[in-house]
Chains A and B, each alone.
Chain A
Amino acid sequence: MSVGHDHPGGRLSTPPRSEVTAILHRLARDPGASPEDAERLLALVYDELRALADALMRRERPGHTLQPTILVHDAWLRLVDARGVDWQDRSHFFGIAARAMRQLLVDHARKRLAVRRGGGGWTRVSLSEAEAATADDVEVLALHEAMLRLTAVDPRAARVVELRVFGGLKVEEVAHLLGVSPRTVDGDWSMARLWLKRELAGPT
């Protein structure tokens, strides 16, 4: 499947496919062996996601809300040679991409809010879009901070949210990646949602 034409006008460089695929293989064989590999992969995926998001922003309207799972999926298609990878590689990739995506959204939201508070640029945002985007940005940051607090009490549940929301992983894939049963993931998900919702609803 060709993805190239999916980003017309986007000045995307050639993605470092073979490197990403190789790192994934190494990680899949022994996840703990090389922390540098994981770091390197995170950086590569983050850069790719940002390039994709920027291309999307240029092409689409500036106030556009990024859809994490689709973006992550695009990054997967661009970064990984699908013929050479298996299901485990995929889980690892999306596990890392979820973190990168969350970071990207948070950075993005912070930047936009900062701009709107008085920085330059971004003049192409129209009134209604600016309002919508602001609401989204505030939401993203609030969710991010609530997730940080959740991590303190229930790190796995927070990770489940990250993997599902920012990585687009299915329950089974999350279960596999975290080495728990799908049932546990379901429980984490239900609990995290209630917990985050209460957290975001206001001061406890």
Chain B
Amino acid sequence: MIPDRYPRVRAIVLAALAAPHAAREALLDEQCAGDASLRAEVESLLAQESGSSTPADLLRPGGRLDRMAARPPGEEAAARAPARIGPYRILGLLGEGGMGRVYLAQQEEPIRREVALKLVQRGLDSRRVLERFALERQVLARLDHPAIARVLDAGSDSEGRPWFAMELVAGESLTEYCDAHSLGVRSRLELFVRVCAAVQHAHQRGVLHRDLKPGNILVGTQDGAAVPKVIDFGIAKALDPSEGPEASMTQEGQWLGTPDYMSPEQAGLLDTPVDTRSDVYALGVILYELLAGVRPVTPASHFLRSGERDARVDVVPPSQAWRTSVAERPGSDSHGDRDRRPRRGLAGDLDTIVAYALRTEPHRRYPSVEHLADDVRRYLAGLPVLARTDTWWYRTGKFATRHRIPLALAAAGVLWLGGFAALSVRQAERVAQERDRARAAEHSARLEAETARQVSEFLVALFEASEPGETKGAERTARELLDRGRERLEERLVDQPLVRARLLMTVASVYQQLVLLEPAEEAARRALALRREASTDTSADVAESLDLLATLAHDRGEVEAAAELSLEALAIARRARPAAHPIVIAALTGHSTNLQVQGRYDEALALRREALTLAQQVHGRDHAEVGYLMQDLGYLEARSGRPRAAVPLYRQALTTQRRLLGPRHPDVIDALNGLAMALVDLGAHAEAESLFRAGLAHAAAVHGADGPYAARALMNLGRCLVLQGRSAEALPLCQRAAEIHGRVLGTRHRHYASALLGVARAELGLRRFAAAERHAREVLAIRLEALGPDGVGVGLARMIVAAARESQGDVAGAERLLREALELHRRQYPDGHPDRIDNLEALARLLHSSGRADEAAGLLAEAASLRRALESPLAAPSAAAVAR
């Protein structure tokens, strides 16, 4: 470009940007006046306005550059905004309303995302608010609609003010959007129908909004199209003090919704309960406002302004209100010019639709949002609206009155959990009347156990039904079935906290089995809270909940947190149940696992052995639990470097478990995997490989080819192949395993690290040394961070890095790494371990090839004696390792 010409180019470009699109051509013709190169220059700049750009997100309108510039954390907001609320970091103020402030906040764990955080300023009892929200939470979790913004979390800040974290929605309020974009009536109605669909979705799932208003319906633009999203679902209910069992006061003066959009029954002007038709009413007011540009005077708003209780305020039809409001604002046509015809129709069908939605008595309104939306659609399609046909109306109205059943029930559908729960509640009541309190508690505990057993069985049946081949076309995932089960649970047993806790625990365990850690944690924490609050002694149950939470922490890779929880669980369990008891066994097992993860194998083995003895006392020898413990002991023996001791334990465990659990049970797949691993350590690669392949097939069939079980089988199969020198076959398997673990568990999880180490080993075998080093270093970093310098597998990761360094010519670096690893391995495995032996041999090889044969010989002697101690058949060829 010619710099001198820049001011001219700039002036024309800015003028063109400011001009309407249609006028641009003429403007350029005139301004460039035949100067072709000037014109080309200008056009090349204007072309950037819409065209895609190379740094995809950086410069497009609304892209990163714009966002960076548009987010100045203003000092006004910052002065008042706390740095953090709950786990969220506050970035700025989004808005302020009657209820409180809404902040832009960043969530950092478990995923990074920005959220809208609503801090409620009113003087409310936040504990109650949160209780109500907790009850509502699971119900809200099932709202999954593109036009509903999700409520993600709730809590209270240091001053006890409740807050809610919500999906962040960029957009304007419904009315602002319609006015700003000069939408015509048709476009407004189309948008309205989409809002109705969202509300209907929630109603079908038993959730009322209770505070619908344009400000709670945000409209953004996506690819040029309007995208509405309803926010704040469930919040009005949580904030309403008249909700829940403690409600006793009158409804007056406690309005939470906006009176302008509030139905008469919600305002307490009618003695009828709030239900879906209250939301129909609010939508009616919104529709009115969209059409008329003003809000109608309703009984609630009239009452608020005049103090007169009059449920029969006449609503002025929107068509008349429209005329008035236009007359008041001469020259301003906020409804756009293009669409005059539908507005003429206002006087007719639209008036009727709005009037029906705004009937004072709920049973005379549209019985559902869907009916309202249908009528708007009929209007848009040019069909006669049903609101006009009185016979239809009469019939539907009658029907709605006659069949008025609670909303939650109507939405419930299948009531499977309810069945068990109701049974247990009734029996518990009878028992409580008949016996004294203590015995009743004991008895109801048995009932609970029975309930749980039944539910577990039911869940297992559900999951079996979700296996491919057993379902006939029904596409239900296990997760969906489980979520549905959990939802049912929300609606039951509010007055039976302990039974409810039991069921929550069952649900949590199954989530855990499916590696759905977040909902599992949620359910387990709620169960724990219920149990801790109980007036009777529930310490054994508290131990059980802690135990599961420890397992979940373990599953997330939070080693220390897990060990703390499991130690607490064990202490409580031992105190609560001095004799052999399943909870003590579970706590022993759990804590043992967490010690094992930290490499404390001897302590872990001792606890497991104690657990096995207790389990045999409690269950006899032929029990899945006993098989399980044998399998665990097998694993620990193998990990302690005694594969020879591990193999018979595994084989015995497998015999029991295959019979009791069937060949595809996760525990059986586990045992199969463990046996194969031990066989790998014994050098029986061929048998190990066939077992891994069988395990992989089962895992893929039961949990999907993308699940963590499949990933583990892939990883181990890959490892087995690497050990056989078949790295080319192994690499894709390990990569796939790493990909799955990384996606499911995150790239800091130890399973991901293990899979990645498999990748590194395969790469080493394929002589891709740089890649191998990079991946092994990543593994090392993850393990160091998660487990500390003495963590399990830290030494092994160093060995792989060393191998990669050595192969790239860095002998000194490799030696240093191997020595560091050996120092750790000697401490970690005083009795020997395959890793320690491999480490010794690797270092010996390196020393030997760099001419330090004496030193190498000493290391080899150590390796050989360890092999003998481990009774490994590989003891003999140790010296031959040097020759490799």
Contacts and interface: CB of A to CB of B under 8 A. Distances in A.
Interface in B47-77: 47-49, 51, 53-55, 58-61, 65, 68-69, 71-75
Contacts of A197: 48, 53, 59-60
Nearest to A173: B72
Contact of B84 (A6, A60, A153, A154): A6
A89 B373 CA distance: 56
A68 B69 CA distance: 9
A14 interface: no
Contacts of A123: 774, 777-778, 780-781
Given A70-B91, A77-B78, A90-B75, A195 B45 contact: yes
Contacts of A3: 83
B760 to A, nearest CB: 12
Given A82-B79, A194-B45, A200-B54, A69 B71 contact: yes
A29 to B, nearest CB: 21
Contacts of B61: 193
A33 interface: no
Interface string A167-204: 01110010000000000000101110111111011101
A194 B46 contact: yes
B65 A165 contact: yes
B262 interface: no
A2 interface: yes
Nearest to B79: A1
A164 interface: yes
Contacts of A164: 68-69
Interface in A97-144: 123-129, 139, 142-143
B10 interface: yes
B54 A1 contact: no
Contacts of B679: none
Contact of A201 (B6, B48, B91): B48
A73 B79 CA distance: 12
B83 A169 contact: no
Contacts of B69: 69, 164-165, 168, 189
A126 B745 CA distance: 14
A100 to B, nearest CB: 16
A166 B71 CA distance: 11
B348 interface: no
Interface in B9-38: 10, 13-14, 17
A127 B741 CA distance: 14
A49 B401 CA distance: 66
Contacts of B55: 139, 142-143, 200
B82 interface: yes
Nearest to B801: A123
B59 A69 contact: no
Contacts of B413: none
Contact of A152 (B3, B74, B79, B781): B3
Contact of A126 (B17, B83, B747): B747
A201 B53 contact: yes
B58 A143 contact: yes
Given A1-B82, A126-B778, A127-B778, A170 B72 contact: yes
Given A1-B78, A126-B778, A67 B68 contact: yes
Contacts of B778: 123-127
B44 A204 contact: yes
A68 to B, nearest CB: 6
A68 B58 contact: no
Contacts of A129: 747
B1 interface: yes
A68 B65 CA distance: 11
Contacts of B777: 123
A198 B65 contact: no
Task: From B55, B78, B108, B778, name the one whose CB has the most chain A CB atoms within 10 angstroms.
Answer: B55
16 contacts: A1-B83, A5-B84, A70-B73, A76-B75, A123-B778, A125-B778, A126-B778, A128-B742, A168-B69, A169-B72, A187-B10, A187-B14, A191-B13, A195-B45, A197-B59, A201-B48
Interface of B: 1, 3, 6, 10, 13-14, 17, 44-49, 51, 53-55, 58-61, 65, 68-69, 71-75, 78-79, 81-84, 89, 91, 108, 742, 747, 774-775, 777-778, 780-781, 785
Given A191-B10, A204-B44, 14 more contacts: A6-B83, A69-B72, A126-B747, A128-B742, A154-B6, A168-B68, A168-B69, A168-B73, A169-B72, A170-B74, A194-B13, A194-B48, A194-B49, A202-B54
Interface of A: 1-3, 5-6, 60, 67-70, 73, 76-77, 82, 90, 123-129, 139, 142-143, 152-154, 161, 164-166, 168-170, 173, 187, 189-191, 193-198, 200-202, 204
